[in-house]
């Protein structure tokens, strides 16, 4: 009986330990981002019309209506055969308005554009619930641009100035200043390359970088990006790297002092026997705790891409750690 009690106690301790370290999820997602409105978390991710889920506890998720029942009216001008499968959204709340940036693209090409839609509430049962699309913010063209207009992320700096980072492969991660309306590029234009891998000494001949997310904390701007290959099931090599800067425009450096604009990056998380590849993360503070949100290819579910939510810690040198 004593042995049984000890085993039961150990099992309970194991459950508490694993629950504290990671909130296991079982919803299929790609490129998850999150926000909290009152007592409800809302998750947006890649999918037809942009997939949306809601939760009260970060564990149990309810499917919500897609953002776009019909594809944005401008989308077929960018991608002629576009079928409303929208990539990599980004959600923010600013000036009492929710801003949702999103990507329209042809796979493997920089035939791409980033659009933005707004809403005053995320509660689909609210009478004021209505997504209003404002069209293209930035567009990339093959044989013209050495960058790819997907994977947007909004950051508001210490001066209340809005910036949009974005990018996938090509010449890396770009950052430009937005107008105060958050819907268009500020003039005169101000652009920066804040991270890249192509043609750099540290890139190992790879240009595989995407999914920027900038998180402000500890008097730093932390730039998270994803390296290597997603979307290949067991062959996925996706991983999350990070650098930081005192200024939103950079330069961003890794732990060893390497510039992210020259191929640097400190590894935060990579795939293992449980999840073949992990990446396309976002980072938030909810109720005084920092969380990292990302997708991983689950080895136990035939490489299904599932949601992962983990609490993010900070070491003595103020670097993020799991």
pLDDT in tens, 220-266: 999 999 999 999 989 999 999 999 999 999 999 999 999 999 999 99
Q: What does the pLDDT average to over 198-222?
A: 94
Q: How confident is the model at residue 293 (pLDDT cuts 50, 70, 90)?
A: very high
For residue 179, the Cα-to-chain-centroid distance in whole angstroms is 22
Question: What's the pLDDT at 25?
Answer: 58
> What domain range is 287 assigned to?
25-321
In sequence order, the β-bridge partners of residue 178 are 185
Other beta carbons less than 10 A from residue 44's beta carbon: 27
CA 275 to CA 296: how far, in whole Å? 6
Reference 86, options 96, 74, 98; nearest CA is 74
Task: Provide φ and ψ at 17, rounded to 5°.
Answer: -60, -50
Question: What's the pLDDT at 314?
Answer: 98
> Which three-class secondary structure string do you get for the chain?
CHHHHHHHHHHHHHHHHHHHHEEEEEEECCCCEEEEECCEEEEEECEECCEEEEECCCCCCEEECCCCCCCCCCHHHHCCCCCCEEEEEEEEEECCEEEEEEEEECCCCCCEEEEEEEECCCCCCCCCCCCEEEEEEEEECCCCCCCCCCCCEEEECCCCCEEEEECECCCCEEEEEECCCCCCECCCCCEEEEECCCCCCCCCCCCCEEEEEEEEECCEEEEEEEECCCCCHHHCCCEEEEEEECCCCCCCECCCCCEHHHCCCEEEEECCCCEEEEEEEEEEEECCEEEEEEEEEEHHHCCEEEEEEEECEECCCCCEEC
For 23-77, the pLDDT digits (tens) are: 545 799 999 999 999 999 999 999 999 999 999 999 999 999 999 999 999 999 9
Of residues 192 and 18, the one with the higher pLDDT is 192
Residue 321, pLDDT above cutoff 60: yes
CA 297 to CA 28: how far, in whole Å? 10
Residue 184, pLDDT above cutoff 70: yes
Residue 177, pLDDT above cutoff 80: yes
31 is catalytic: yes
For 118-142, the pLDDT digits (tens) are: 999 999 999 999 999 999 999 999 9
Asked whether residue 300 is domain-assigned, the answer is: yes
pTM to 2 decimal places: 0.91
Asked whether residue 7 is domain-assigned, the answer is: no
Residue whose token pair is 């308005």: 97
Other beta carbons less than 10 A from residue 246's beta carbon: 11
Asked whether residue 6 is domain-assigned, the answer is: no
Asked whether residue 155 is domain-assigned, the answer is: yes
Residue 296, pLDDT above cutoff 80: yes
Asked whether residue 198 is domain-assigned, the answer is: yes
Q: Does residue 249 contact residue 176 with C-beta atoms inside 8 Å?
A: no
Asked whether residue 1 is domain-assigned, the answer is: no
Residue 169, pLDDT above cutoff 50: yes
As a whole number of Å, the end-to-end CA separation of the chain is 37
Residue 4, pLDDT above cutoff 50: no
CATH number (domain holding residue 66) = 2.115.10.20
Asked whether residue 5 is domain-assigned, the answer is: no
Q: Single out the catalytic residue among 151, 171, 210, 228.
A: 210
Question: What's the pLDDT at 108?
Answer: 87
210 is catalytic: yes
Domain total of the chain = 1
Asked whether residue 9 is domain-assigned, the answer is: no
CA 160 to CA 171: how far, in whole Å? 28
The CA radius of gyration of the chain, in Å to the nearest whole number, is 20
């Amino acid at each position: 009986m004593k042995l049984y009690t000890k085993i039961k106690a150990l099992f309970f301790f194991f459950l508490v330990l694993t629950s504290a370290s990671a909130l296991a999820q079982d919803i299929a997602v790609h490129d998850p981002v999150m926000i909290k409105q009152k007592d409800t978390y809302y998750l947006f991710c890649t999918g037809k019309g942009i997939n949306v889920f809601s939760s009260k506890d970060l564990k149990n998720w309810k499917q919500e209506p897609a953002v776009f029942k019909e594809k944005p009216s401008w989308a077929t001008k960018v991608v002629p055969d576009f079928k409303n499968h929208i990539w990599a959204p980004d959600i923010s709340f600013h000036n009492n308005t929710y801003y949702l940036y999103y990507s329209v693209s042809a796979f493997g090409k920089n035939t791409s554009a980033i659009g933005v839609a707004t809403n005053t509430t995320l509660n689909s049962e609210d009478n004021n619930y209505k997504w209003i699309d404002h069209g293209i913010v930035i567009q990339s063209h093959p044989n013209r641009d050495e960058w790819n207009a997907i994977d947007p992320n909004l950051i508001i700096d210490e001066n209340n100035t809005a910036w949009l980072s974005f990018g996938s492969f090509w010449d890396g991660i770009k950052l430009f200043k937005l107008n105060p309306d958050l819907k268009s590029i500020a003039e005169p234009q101000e652009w920066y390359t804040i991270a890249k891998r192509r043609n750099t000494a540290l890139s190992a001949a790879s240009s595989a970088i995407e999914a920027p997310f900038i998180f402000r904390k500890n008097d730093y701007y932390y730039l998270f990006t994803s390296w290597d290959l997603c979307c290949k099931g067991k062959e996925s090599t996706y991983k999350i790297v990070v650098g930081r800067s005192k200024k939103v425009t950079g330069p961003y450096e890794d732990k060893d002092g390497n510039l992210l604009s020259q191929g640097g990056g400190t590894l935060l998380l990579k795939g293992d026997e449980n999840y073949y590849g992990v990446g396309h993360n976002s980072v938030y503070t909810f109720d005084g705790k920092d969380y990292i949100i990302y997708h991983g290819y689950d080895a136990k579910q035939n490489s299904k891409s599932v949601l992962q939510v983990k609490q993010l810690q900070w070491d003595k040198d103020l670097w993020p750690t799991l």
